[in-house]
Amino acid sequence: MKKAVLEIMVDNIEKSIDWYTKTLKFKKNITVPELNPVYASLSNGDVDIMLYNREEFSKEIPKFENIKLGGSFVLYITVEDIQTFYDSVKNKVSIIQKLHTTDYGSTEFSLEDPDGYVLMFNQPV
């Protein structure tokens, strides 16, 4: 294996693109089609995320048609200056877990994106 990229299903792709680019400073790499997209590729540093509109994704994977968004996984993202990053987003997002230091040597916090996905940001101590 070489690389994993998260592809997440969303109900309102334009809202999700807007949230990731404005709130978390992701860069929009590509949207397909360019107007009224059903797919988008976003990145911030070495982190890549693909967003896929539910209606189109369900055509490829029918099981997704009625599945609840969000889920039981966490996107775990390492950042360089977690305190500055936390301060920049804490009043703009739904914080799930406040900034704290763990017993396994990490400072981290969790937030929820507009589709219910949990993103955990960490910085090794």
Tens digit of each residue's pLDDT, the chain (125 residues) = 998 899 999 999 999 999 999 999 999 999 999 999 999 999 999 999 999 999 999 999 999 999 999 988 899 999 999 999 999 999 999 999 999 999 999 999 999 999 999 999 999 99
Compute the C-alpha angle 96/101/103, nearest 5°.
115
Residue 17 near residue 42, CB atoms below 8 Å:
yes
How far apart are the C-alpha atoms of 117 and 9, rounded to whole Å? 10
β-bridge mates for residue 32, sequence order: 39
Angstrom distance (rounded) from CA 100 to CA 18 = 28
| Cα–Cα distance, 31 to 47 (Å, whole number) | 17
